[in-house]
Each structure stands twice: as C-alpha cells, then as structure tokens.
C-alpha cells in the first residue's frame, strides 16, 4: 500500500473564485436589488452570498454566535440553525443537507443562496447572471430545493440506466477508473489521498472499499463523521455517481477502512485485525463506516459500525 500524507485544505476565497470574465451574479428580492459588501460567489454551480444582506432583504431575524460559529434565524415560525463548516442545517429541528457548507471569507459568513431562501418560503428564479427572489409571508419547507444544487457534476442529474454504461464493469476496470480520477477525496475541511479495493460478488454486488493508509488521516476522518455524518457525501458522492453512470451500476456499496491507534494492545482482537507500529503503538484495522447508493430507488445512507449495533449517521433521498 502506498505511503501518503494528509493534506489540510483551508477554506479560502480562491476556492470560490469565478473566471475573470464571468458575470457577477445580480440578486434581487421582490424586485429590489440586494447590496453586498462582497459580490456573490459561485462554486460547483452553487451561489454563495453574505448572510446578513440576504437575511435582511428576506426579513429573516438572525443572530450570530461567534464562539459556536453558528447562525440561528427565524422567519414566520420557521427556525434555522446553520453552522460554519457543516453542510447539515437544522430547519425546525430537522436536519437538512445543504449543497455547500456556510463558510467564513474575510470575516463574512457566506451561505447557499437557494437553500436559505427556500427554507424561508421564498421562490428563486435564475436567468443568466440574474437571480430573482420572491419572498413569502408563510413558512415552507426546503424540501422542494432543486436537486441540481446538491450535485457536483452533470452525472448526478441523470437517471442511471443500462444505456449509461460506457465501460465493462470489472474489479480491475473500476479500480483503475478510481485511481485515474479519484486518487484524492475531499471533505469540506480536509483532503485525503486514498487506496481502493473493489469487489464484485457472484450476485453482482459492487463494493468499493476506501483505504486510508495514513493513520492520522483515519482518525481525522472519523472525527469529522462523528461531528457530522453527512461529510461522507462530501467524500464519496461524486465518485459514486460517476461510477454508476460510467459502468451502468444500479447499487454501489461503500466501506471506509480506518486505522485508529492505541498505546496498548486492545483485548479480544484477532491478530489479522491488528498490527504494531515501530514506536510500539498498535493499529486496529477495521471497517468503521459503510453505506450504499441505490440509484434505482434514488436514496443513500451511511452507518457508523462502532458499538454494539450499526448507527445511521446520514441518509438522503433525491428526485
């Protein structure tokens, strides 16, 4: 297995920069232009805007908790909680997944425009570089948010079917595809260089195992999932949809093999699950997270395997 290093990727303005010749997005609410200190930014086809100007224009009351890096807001009985760095928003206490996480840029909090607008009951229309928002006097659920804003590539917007396959699926061909296009996987906070195992059983069950051979990165990723299970979609969604389209796969199972470090040898662990470092510490090799994408039923879920029973940490349905 290759030796690799964890690369931390800070959120920076450059990540959201548009091409120099791109038109600046113009945003209006009820036909009144919204004035921003910093122009709206576009990343992965998602428009991000400063939270204060857009919330004021939509008559959304809000508070900013500097210590928690958290926004709490309310509009017509709909309560929102957004956390910087997390794609999980809470709408009236229910977790909802945003297309991108809120982020701090030059001291300003930027949020996904469509998500927060529709969470407040508004309607959003896009025409070229102009975004027109019609506010609402009644609350509504963000469940109607366009799935296209939740995707990173065009492959996500297509229904997977047998005609989509352009390559013959095999363990070798899928693994080669992953190494060619996805040797690095990312969450909102970190970037991981990975290895893969691919298994196709006699019932045509397709399983991709993500191998993290850097023990520090194993712990980092598991810590991220403990805080927010939806980071698993940041890590896997793009390559899962890409594999589905490229190979015509209807269901893909995913395992993540992590390697936590112990100062003393854990009891009750078989020798094939554990190895010892040169410094005397012990590494437990175990699949800690698994999940699946069912492209026919248009749903997915991930489970934390630590503990007596698997624990659901993230699930999503799409249209």
**Over the stretch 216-273, which tens digit does the pLDDT of each residue have?**
787 788 888 888 999 899 899 989 988 988 888 999 999 998 766 678 887 877 776 7
What's the alpha-carbon Rg for the chain, to the nearest Å?
A: 21
More confident residue, 15 or 64: 64
CA distance 58 to 231: 29
Query: What is the torsion angle, in degrees rounded to the nearest 10, for the CA atoms of residue 196, residue 238, residue 9 and residue 183?
Result: 30
Each residue's pLDDT tens digit, 261-302: 678 887 877 776 777 777 788 767 677 899 999 998 999 999
Residues 6 or more apart whose Cβ sits within 8 Å of residue 264: 282
Confidence class of residue 158 from pLDDT cuts 50, 70 and 90? very low
Mean pLDDT over the full length of the chain: 79
Residue 146 clears pLDDT 60, i.e. is over it? no
- Average pLDDT of span 45-55: 91
Tokens of 118: 């529709």
Most confident of the ranges 62-76, 138-152, 182-196: 62-76
Residue labelled with tokens 């624990």: 311
Residue 81's pLDDT band, with cuts at 50, 70 and 90, is: very high
Q: What pLDDT was estimated at residue 4?
A: 33
* Residues 6 or more apart whose Cβ sits within 8 Å of residue 30: 133, 134, 135
Q: Specify the pLDDT at position 44.
A: 83
Q: Which fold has domain 7-150?
A: Copper Amine Oxidase; Chain A, domain 1 (3.30.457)
Whether this prediction's pTM lies above 0.85 is answered by no
CA distance 207 to 69: 37
Q: What band does 188 get if pLDDT is binned at 50, 70 and 90?
A: confident
Question: Distance (Å, rounded) from C-alpha 107 to C-alpha 94?
Answer: 28
First and final CA of the chain: distance in angstroms? 39
102-111 residue pLDDT tens? 999 888 899 9
CB contact set of 107 (below 8 Å; sequence gap of 6+): none
Torsion sign over Cα 166, 195, 8, 311: positive
Residue 250: closest CA among 153, 177, 164, 314:
164
What's the pLDDT at 55? 92
- C-alpha closest to that of 300 among 165, 89, 147: 147
Candidates 306, 303, 292; CA nearest to 260 is: 306
The confidence band for 1, taking pLDDT boundaries of 50, 70 and 90, is: very low
pLDDT greater at residue 19 or residue 133: 133
Residue ranges of the domains in the chain? 7-150, 156-317
Residue 314: predicted pLDDT: 92
pLDDT of 223 reads 86
Instruction: Please list, residue by residue across 190-214, b when 16 or more beta carbons sit within 10 angstroms of its beta carbon and e when fewer do.
Output: bebbbbbebeeeeeeebbbbbbbeb
Q: Which residue has the tokens 């070798």?
A: 172
């Amino acid at each position: 297995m290759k030796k690799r290093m964890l690369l931390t990727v800070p959120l920076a303005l450059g990540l959201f920069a548009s091409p120099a010749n791109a038109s600046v997005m113009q945003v209006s609410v009820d036909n009144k232009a919204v004035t921003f200190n910093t122009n709206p930014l576009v990343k992965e086809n998602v428009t991000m805007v400063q939270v204060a100007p857009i919330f004021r224009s939509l008559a959304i009351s809000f508070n900013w908790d500097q210590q928690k890096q958290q926004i709490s807001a309310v509009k017509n009985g709909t309560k929102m909680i957004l956390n910087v760095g997390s794609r999980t928003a809470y709408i009236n206490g229910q977790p909802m997944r945003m297309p991108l996480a809120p982020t701090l840029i030059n001291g300003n909090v930027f949020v996904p425009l469509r998500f927060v607008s529709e969470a407040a009951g508004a309607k959003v229309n896009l025409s070229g570089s102009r975004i027109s928002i019609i506010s609402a006097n009644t609350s509504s659920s963000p469940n109607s948010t366009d799935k296209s804003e939740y995707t990173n590539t065009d492959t996500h917007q297509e229904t997977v079917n047998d005609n989509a396959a352009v390559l013959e699926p095999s363990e070798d061909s899928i693994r080669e595809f992953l190494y060619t296009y996805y040797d690095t996987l990312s969450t909102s906070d970190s970037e991981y260089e990975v290895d893969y195992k691919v298994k196709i059983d006699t019932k045509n069950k397709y399983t991709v195992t993500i191998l993290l051979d850097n023990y520090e990165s194993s712990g980092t990723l598991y810590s991220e999932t403990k805080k927010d299970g939806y980071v698993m979609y940041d890590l896997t969604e793009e390559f899962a949809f890409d594999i589905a389209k490229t190979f015509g796969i209807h269901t893909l199972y995913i395992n993540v093999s992590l390697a936590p470090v112990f100062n003393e040898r854990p009891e009750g662990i078989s020798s094939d699950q554990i190895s010892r470092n040169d410094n005397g510490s012990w590494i437990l090799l175990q699949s800690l997270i698994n999940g699946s994408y069912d492209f026919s039923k248009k749903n997915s879920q991930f489970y934390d395997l630590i503990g007596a029973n698997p624990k659901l940490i993230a699930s999503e349905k799409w249209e």
